[in-house]
Structure 1
Amino acid sequence: MINSPSYSASQPEQPHGAGAEGAGPGQALPPPPPMPPYPAALPRMRWWQRHAVRVGLLVGLLTVSGGIILALVREQTGTHGFLVGLGLALLPVPLLLAVFRWVEAVEPGPWRNLVFCFAWGACAAALIAIVANTLATEWLVGSTLEPFAGGDEPLKPDAVGATYVAPVVEESAKAVSVLLIFLFRRQHFRGLLDGAVTAGLTGAGFAFTENILYLGNAFGRDQLSGDSGMASVTAATFFVRIVLSPFAHPLFTLLTGIGFGLAARTPGRRRVRRVLLPLAGLLLSMGMHGLWNGSATLMGPFGFIIVYALVMVPVFGLSVWLLVWARADVLRAVRAHLPAYVAAGWLAPAEPAALATMN
């Protein structure tokens, strides 16, 4: 290679090709760069770390717990009561699924997450509740509260369990599904909408199994007493649980989901806040659940109506407003960021306004 007249001797020789013919007279080619080290073999994945194994274990857990909880419910209600309760409990499920799917339509997540949440509430959380509620209530009534009971009026285990035990056990069991999605599907858990949908579907699954139990037992009592028609226990239970308050369990767990959703929007450096927000949402869900369960037993004959009108309906309305605002906030973010793509020529001027609407 012939050096140009402007080439400085102080500059290193730049080889033009491989071989001696690329070097100038009396000049040697620079040594080749060292070869990169051969990459070490990746550590072998343990069998329990494989994705297929984890999915199989999770599906097996939900399947086994679902079979056990259905067997326990059928044992308590009888076959006929179980079938009647199952048919009636299925009625609000499509509506609830459609509502939560509509909520996340602005940034939909994968179906497998939604199926997992509903199955966890209907199978795993329900099984935990039906076992732990009984054990915790017996322990609480028998060893802790019995010394404080009045002499003439014994403690009612059903009232104690429904008001103080069930809210803690059930909301904690349902919150596990939200926590699992938050930890292991973090890319699909971005804010309030994702927290609300995962929590609401978990509550809907739990309510489905619980409705089978309550409606099946009500049908069994009607069969024993010979009652039927609109005045039956089954009709009253159906009106209260399916018509009047199908959103009760989803609404309780929704508060936990909002806490996780706010934590997802919190910067990572604020670790204390990221922990306290889900705990605050969980405590609110427990408190509201306990108030709802105890309204009929602790507040007199009109307690249910008072709590329903003054607490449940306003909180439900506030939650709906919050979710609608969160959807609009996502669309506002889309509308604010897309003009940069118009300036780059990737989008037409009219497209950002169209893409920032649900249509």
Structure 2
Amino acid sequence: MPPLDPRAVLAGRPTARPSVGTIITIAVSSVCLVVALRIMLHDGATGVGAAVVLAVAPLPLLLAGILALDRLEPEPPDALVAAFGWGAGVAVLIAMLLNTAGLDLVWGPMLGAELGMYATAAITAPVVEEVLKGAVLVGLLWFRRNELNGPTDGIIYGSMVALGFAVVENISYYTFAPPGTLALTFTVRGIASPLLHPLCTALTGIGVAAAALRPAGRSRVAPVLGGLLGAIALHSLWNASSAFGLFGLGVAYLVGVGVLVALGIVLHRDRKRIVGLIRTHLPQYQETGVVTPPDVWMLSSLHRRQQARAHVRSTRGRGPARALADYQQAATELAMLHRRRALGLVPDTEFVARRDPLLLLMHHARHAFTR
């Protein structure tokens, strides 16, 4: 019998290696990123090094915040990297070309240079950029639907795409900031509004995740379209607010804060939903020996999960602690698998094929951290 690969079991694939599609997505995104930077940083660009540093500086904190939301059921790293790369490469390059074409061919000739720039920012850019960022989320819905188990997953993937886009976009803004305004530009984009793109694309992510959990036979177009329209509206409101001075910016900020609070409520409710699934579905496996009532109690709280791992690490070492982490994630995946089956999204044969490796992993992991 081949050795059990926890990463492969948790990913639901024969191997833990990234899929061909994921590798191609990352490769194409990398090429697009290079081309986009080459076009952006054309002759006359100055202070490129400082621009890159300023654009990347907030990234670790923002990434840490997003990944902190992903502790209950962590997403595959390869999918997160592909989402980030798509935003930084493919979405940036195509958006840059389409926005420029819209300005040169439509808004500029129609409204003149100044009003044309404003129309591009308020009308064209929100539509183009949110559609392009959302495209990779639709790809997840089409090819890796099982990764989308609720709104939390949609928010995480949407935010990762948006962070990739925002970092590259900010490099351009900082490089071509008028003399003496670099500090102000960084304050506005890097400190005052670093969550603009993540907030917008997170709305698309929620729509895509809702579509992934639609019961069999129901259309998935409506939730995706609803999330995308929300993202476009929020993005357009922010870009258009500059025409109304401080009052416009204040209104845009209030709306943004409202969206942020709403996302926090959605995340909290989704976490409670997952805990409810664990308490509902895992007790039926007590007879197999892979779950006990104390295990269900531990699995029902992020704090207790962390405490359990810390205790095992301090008393038994890193290996058993890693096994406990695998056990926790496998148990969560099993609970969500039951929900997908209840919604008619997983046939019985597929359910068994996914359930049995998870139970086997839980058995091996439990033996490792309890012996």
Structure 2-normalised TM-score?
0.72
Matching of residue 292 in structure 1 with residue 251 in structure 2? no
How far apart are the structure 2 equivalents of 1:345 and 1:154? 71
How far apart are the structure 2 equivalents of 1:279 and 1:305? 28
Match of 1:126 among 83, 92, 97: 92
Contact map agreement 1:77 1:216 (CA 8 A) in 2: no
Match of 1:61 among 28, 36, 41: 28
- Residue equivalent to 1:71: 38
Contact map agreement 2:29 2:88 (CA 8 A) in 1: no
Match of 1:190 among 143, 146, 149: 149
Match of 1:353 among 285, 289, 297: 297
State how many pairs are aligned: 286
Match of 1:302 among 237, 244, 247: 247
Contact map agreement 2:134 2:158 (CA 8 A) in 1: yes
Letter in 2 for 1:168: V
**Mapping of residues 1-359 of structure 1, within 5 Å:** 54-55=21-22, 57-75=24-42, 78=45, 80-142=46-108, 146=110, 156-218=115-177, 221-222=178-179, 227=180, 233-271=181-219, 274-297=220-243, 299-308=244-253, 310-342=254-286, 345-358=289-302, 359=305
How far apart are the structure 2 equivalents of 1:182 and 1:160? 32
Structure number with higher helix proportion = 2
Contact map agreement 2:25 2:86 (CA 8 A) in 1: no
Aligned CA RMSD, in angstroms, stands at 2.0
Distance 1:200 1:355, change over 3 A: same
Q: Which runs of 4+ in 1 moved over 6 A?
A: none
Report deviation, 1:56.
5.1
* SS of residue in 1 equivalent to 2:105: helix
Letter in 1 for 2:30: T
Deviations 1:282-320 (A, max 9, x none): 0111111001000012x2343112221x21111111112
* SS of residue in 2 equivalent to 1:107: coil
How far apart are the structure 2 equivalents of 1:71 and 1:253? 26
Letter in 2 for 1:204: L
Report deviation, 1:88.
0.5
156-165 or 184-193, which deviates more: 184-193
Letter in 2 for 1:293: N
Contact map agreement 2:26 2:85 (CA 8 A) in 1: no
How far apart are the structure 1 equivalents of 2:44 and 2:199? 27
Deviations 1:112-170 (A, max 9, x none): 00000111001110001111001022232256xx3xx6xxx986111010000000100
Deviations 1:252-278 (A, max 9, x none): 00110010111112102112xx11110
* SS of residue in 1 equivalent to 2:293: coil
Contact map agreement 1:76 1:217 (CA 8 A) in 2: no
- Residue equivalent to 1:42: none
